[in-house]
Every structure is written in C-alpha cells, then in structure tokens.
C-alpha cells in the first residue's frame, strides 16, 4: 500500500487482505519506529482480538470504517486501557470508552493504542512528556508539534489510517502542518468530549489527523453527533451536513493576512513556502485574494494564555497540582498553576473584551468565503524548543490560539515543502458550523481532492436570481437589502424563457416562464441572501410567482423567480422582446 487512507485500506481488503494481516503490518511499522516515543500504550494481540472478532460477524459493506486501524491521543478514554494524559501518577483505567471512540468502534474501526502528548494537553510542541519528546516524521531534529504529537506522527509514519487528537489552542492543526497531514478541527460541540480529559473544558474539541482530506471527512461524519452526556455538546445545522459537502464552484473570495502582519519568526524556509503556496493558488482565476486585518484575531488569541481561561487548566489539573506537583512537567505545572490568581472581575472583563473582538472578527469573516493563514510561522528544532520552551510555544500558536475562543471551524491542509524538505501547511478558517464548507473549499484548492464530488455553493447563503421589481433601484429591492442581501452580478438566462408582465394594480411585476421552444435570453441579477432570511422572503412572494431552478447562460443552475406557464393569467403581456424588465419599464414612459 501507499499512504494509509480509507481508499487504500478498502482496496487492500478488496484485493483479499484480512484485518489481522493489516493490523500485523501496522504493528510491524510501530516496532520499526519504536525509538521515537510515539505511543504510550499499544494494544497487545490479546487486547486487539475482541475488536477484530467483532468484525467477523459483519460484512465489509455494513460498517463504514470496517477494519480501519486508528490511534487515540492518551487524554481520550478507551475502555480497559489506562488514560494517563502523559502523567503516570494521574493514570486511571476507564470502564467505558469516550463517546467519540465508541462511535468509531461501532462503525468498525480498530483501535491500536494510545499515543503520546504534551502533558495534560498543554503545549503545541510535542516535547512536554515524561515518555519523551516525539520527533518529527520527516526529520528527527525537529519537533513534531503538540499537544497531539503522537497521534500526528503515527499517521504520518503509516502506523494507522487516522488518529484522534484534541485541540484547545491549535493541537489538532500544528502537528498536522509539521507532518504533512490534514488536521480537521470541528466547530465546538459537534463532536462529543465526554470521556476526554479536559484542558480548557469550554474550548476543547476532538480532532482528526489523516493523510488525505477524504479520510478526514468520512471519519468526521462518523464522529459527529449530539451527545446528551456532554454538557458542551451542540446540535449541527442543516447547512453543515454531509450532503452539503462537495467541491466549491464559481468565484471564491479568500481572506489572507496583510503582508506587514505576517510573522515567520526568522524562518525564511516557511516564509518562502507560504509565498510559493499562494502563488500556486493564484493559477485559479476564480480565486480572489483580499487582505484582512489580523490584529483583532491576534488580540483574541492573546487572551487564551494571558487571560483567565488558564484557570480552566487549573481546574482540570487540580488533583495533580495539590497531590503530586513534583510529578508534573515543570513547564506545564507553571502554566496551569498560574490560573489560580485570576479573579471573577478578570473573567468578566476578559469576556467583555472577547465579545467585542469577536464582533470585529465575525465582520471580517462575513466578507470572505474563508480565511487562509499559515498554520504555523516556523518549525523549530528540538534544541531550539528546549532553549526557549515558553517563547517558541507561544510563537507556534500565533495563527491558531484565537480559533476556539471565537468559536470558529478550522481545517489544516498540506501546502508543500521548504527547500530543506520540511512540511509546510495552511489553515482554512470559517465561522461556526462551516466545517463542510471548508472541506468543499479545500477540495477546490487541491487538484487531488476534486474528483467525483458534486459542485456546491456557500451553504451559509442562497443565491437568488431576480428579474423584475427586486432588481437594483426598483421598488421591491428593499426586500432583499432588509434581509442582508448582497448584489453579486448581472446575468442572462439561457435562451429558454419568456418574460411576462403580470396584470394588476400597485408595483408592476413580471413572471419568468420556461419555454424551450420559443424562449429567449432574459437579463436578470443574482443576489446573495443569508440562508436564515430565505423563509421570510418566500413568505412575501405573491402568486403566481415562486422560487425554482433557472438556467443562466453559462449553463449553471441557480434559484430564481419563476412561474409555471399554466399559472400565469391570460391577461399577462409577453414582453420578452425587450430582453429585460428595466428596458420594458422604460418603454412605458417613452
């Protein structure tokens, strides 16, 4: 097999391979890399057997992840296996698996074990563990990124098909960038954190590492779902479900950070890799890049460790801090102990400031289809990190620390290599519940991930074709503007429509009627409405008009005002010869 992915694993089984044979290959790969402390606990053959035996009673097609090997960050529970959070003194053995792990097992996935991490998920570098610092999959001199270090490297070295991490400050994205992986960080609450050792409970989420976007996407569809046991669990929205996912079509506006606000911390290799990645993307003429002000995002990010959210880490580590502080990693201990000094006033003051910053950041995101940033500004060596553990860790979170505070979705994607052969990555950012939209945009940005997917538009909005009184400057245009509508462009329909002037008093209105035999091309406008406003807009549309599918001259199908031919009054006048409604109106006054 090439890189482990859902497609390669399924092809292996289709060719006659067995689960036991594949697991044996994965275990051999784990043994070969054993000097690198990737794993805290690998399941023995005896521990693995119940998971494999269970699959014997199911056809491959009956379970979406049948026989797929995966790894679990060791702050996430797997029944019967110790959870350590990289602190042996903290270890406990759960009776039940975390909700997300159980969903994966129920879908046929096979857990191979628990992976190393920055202790108590505090760090973005992968060096803060008593089990050892996990080394980068491409060059052992460099860090792997944390805190989900072991999970990322296990995937990068083909020990498993995918792995679970967690992400509070960037731990599901930074390790992905440093090991040439996809790192999917869902919107908060879409994936249950029940059975996960908290770092900052209100900000934590479970993430996915995979070699390709398709694997990450399919695994996400199994993991997501409301969990009543998790008080932070939230239901998804209908615009963010799997059927809304595809390849983003048409023009896309991508926000990029102003050049003067970019930070690479002296890493010329990463700076050049970023420029090269953007240059490659500009080959798509329908991608428009606009510079955004990153300062409010940075200020929000600063609140994560300098603000009272550190107190959540203090709460999570209360027992270790009180009972065995000497067993904690000294840098981790100092960070989490620092949360004890915040007051209630500090908490509310920080929340007020965060809400003000979120208002600014939301406004910036609303003007683009996605924000695109470097995932990290620099890849440090192990020795650099040891010399400056706090400074460099802070720099690693420069492009990531704001995301969960602002309740955004993130998707880290590989974006080439430096001249030294080190992986570089970009991150797509969107508002809450834009997870499927980011996947669709990522497919558009990649020539590899596009095949066999439907074309989709932005699910947050509905593009509506209007051809009469709702057009710019005409009497009903206010109905679009009042609902947050935005003019997109003028268009012409395909030459298969007739334009009829409806009779009646008040505002003059047309009807667009499909007529393949004698239709003409009709001028119109496309307006973009927030999806939440579409219902009230439909409510105000009088008979015989309605919304349906209209084909425009470039062959695309959009939602627009139409009327069924039999529903139009006989007194309606055919004004198709004028080509558009404005020209017809001008003829009335001439």
| Residues that are catalytic | 73, 147, 171
Distance CA 71, CA 27 (A): 12
Distance CA 326, CA 345 (A): 31
H-state helical runs in 125-252 = 149-156, 174-178, 213-223
Residue pointed to by tokens 């395909």: 494
Burial class (CB in 10 A: 0-12, 13-18, 19+), 336: buried
DSSP character at residue 147: S
First to last CA, the chain: 74
How many beta carbons lie within 10 A of that of residue 452, not counting itself? Answer: 7
Distance CA 151, CA 160 (A): 9
Structure tokens at 295: 């300062």
| DSSP-derived secondary structure for 251-287 | -EEEEEE-GGG---TT-HHHHHHHHHHHHHHTTSTTE
Structure tokens at 127: 């060096």
Query: Which distant-in-sequence residues (6+ apart) come within 8 Å of 506 by Cβ?
Result: none
- 489 has which bridge partners? 526
DSSP character at residue 136: P
CA neighbours within 13 Å on the CB side: how many for 330?
3
How many beta carbons lie within 10 A of that of residue 587, not counting itself? Answer: 11
Query: Which distant-in-sequence residues (6+ apart) come within 8 Å of 363 by Cβ?
Result: none
Q: Which long-range contacts (CB under 8 A, 24 or more apart) does 449-455 make?
A: 449/212, 449/213, 449/214, 449/247, 450/247, 453/245, 453/246, 453/247, 454/246, 454/247, 455/246, 455/247, 455/248, 455/249
| Alpha-carbon separation of residue 31 from 47, 68, 157, 158, 572 (angstroms) | 17, 19, 11, 12, 79
Beta strand 252-257 with 370-374 is parallel
Distance CA 153, CA 156 (A): 5
Listed in order, strand segments (DSSP E) in 43-123 are: 69-73, 110-115
């Amino acid at each position: 097999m090439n890189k482990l992915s859902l497609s390669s694993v399924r092809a292996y089984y289709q060719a006659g391979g067995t689960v036991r044979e594949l697991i044996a290959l994965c275990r051999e790969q784990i043994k070969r890399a054993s000097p690198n402390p990737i794993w805290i606990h690998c399941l023995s053959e005896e521990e693995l057997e119940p998971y494999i035996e269970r699959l014997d009673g199911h056809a491959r097609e009956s379970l979406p992840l049948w026989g797929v090997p995966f790894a679990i960050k060791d702050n996430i529970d797997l029944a019967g296996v110790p959870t350590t959070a990289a602190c042996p003194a903290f270890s406990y053995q759960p009776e039940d698996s975390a909700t997300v792990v159980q969903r994966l097992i129920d879908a046929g996935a096979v857990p191979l074990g628990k992976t190393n991490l920055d202790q108590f998920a505090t760090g973005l570098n992968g060096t803060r563990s008593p089990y050892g610092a996990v080394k980068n999959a491409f060059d052992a001199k460099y860090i792997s990124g944390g805190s989900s270090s072991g999970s990322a490297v296990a995937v990068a070295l083909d020990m498993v098909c995918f792995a679970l991490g967690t992400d509070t400050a960037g731990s599901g994205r930074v390790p992905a960038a440093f090991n040439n992986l996809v790192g999917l960080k869902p919107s908060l609450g879409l994936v249950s954190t029940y059975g996960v050792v908290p770092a900052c409970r209100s900000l934590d989420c479970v993430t996915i590492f995979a070699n390709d976007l398709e694997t990450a996407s399919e695994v996400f569809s199994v993991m997501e779902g409301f969990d009543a046991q998790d008080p932070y669990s939230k239901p998804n929205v209908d615009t963010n479900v799997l059927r809304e996912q595809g390849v983003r079509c048409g023009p896309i506006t991508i926000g990029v950070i102003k050049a003067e606000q970019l930070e690479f911390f002296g890493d010329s290799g990463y700076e050049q890799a970023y420029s090269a990645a953007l240059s490659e993307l500009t080959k798509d003429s329908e991608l428009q890049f606009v510079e955004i002000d990153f300062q409010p995002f940075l200020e929000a990010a600063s609140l994560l460790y300098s603000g009272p959210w550190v107190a959540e880490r203090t709460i999570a580590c209360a027992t270790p801090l009180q009972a065995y502080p000497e067993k904690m990693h000294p840098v981790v201990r100092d960070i989490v102990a620092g949360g004890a000094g915040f007051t209630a006033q500090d908490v509310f003051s920080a929340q007020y400031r965060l809400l003000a910053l979120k208002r600014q950041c939301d406004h910036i995101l609303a003007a683009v289809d996605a924000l695109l940033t470097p995932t990290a500004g620099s890849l440090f060596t192990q020795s650099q990190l040891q010399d400056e553990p706090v400074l460099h860790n802070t720099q690693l979170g420069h492009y990531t620390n704001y995301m969960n505070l602002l309740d955004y979705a993130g998707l880290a994607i590989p974006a080439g290599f430096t001249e030294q052969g080190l992986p570089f990555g970009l991150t797509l950012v969107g508002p809450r519940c834009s997870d499927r939209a980011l996947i669709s945009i990522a497919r558009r940005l990649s020539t590899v991930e596009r095949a066999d997917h439907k074309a989709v538009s932005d699910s947050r909005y509905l593009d509506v074709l209007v051809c009469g009184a709702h057009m710019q400057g005409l009497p009903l245009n206010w109905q679009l503007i009042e609902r947050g509508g935005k003019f997109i462009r003028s268009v012409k329909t395909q030459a298969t429509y007739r334009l009829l002037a409806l009779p009646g008093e008040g505002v003059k209105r047309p009807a667009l009627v499909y007529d393949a035999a004698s239709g003409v091309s009709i001028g119109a406008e496309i307006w973009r409405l927030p999806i939440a406003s579409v219902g009230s807009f439909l409510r105000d549309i009088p008979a015989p008009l309605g919304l349906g599918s209209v084909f425009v001259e470039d062959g695309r199908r959009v939602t627009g005002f139409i009327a069924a031919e039999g529903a139009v009054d006989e007194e309606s006048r055919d004004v198709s010869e004028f080509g558009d409604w404005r020209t017809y109106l001008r003829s009335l006054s001439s």
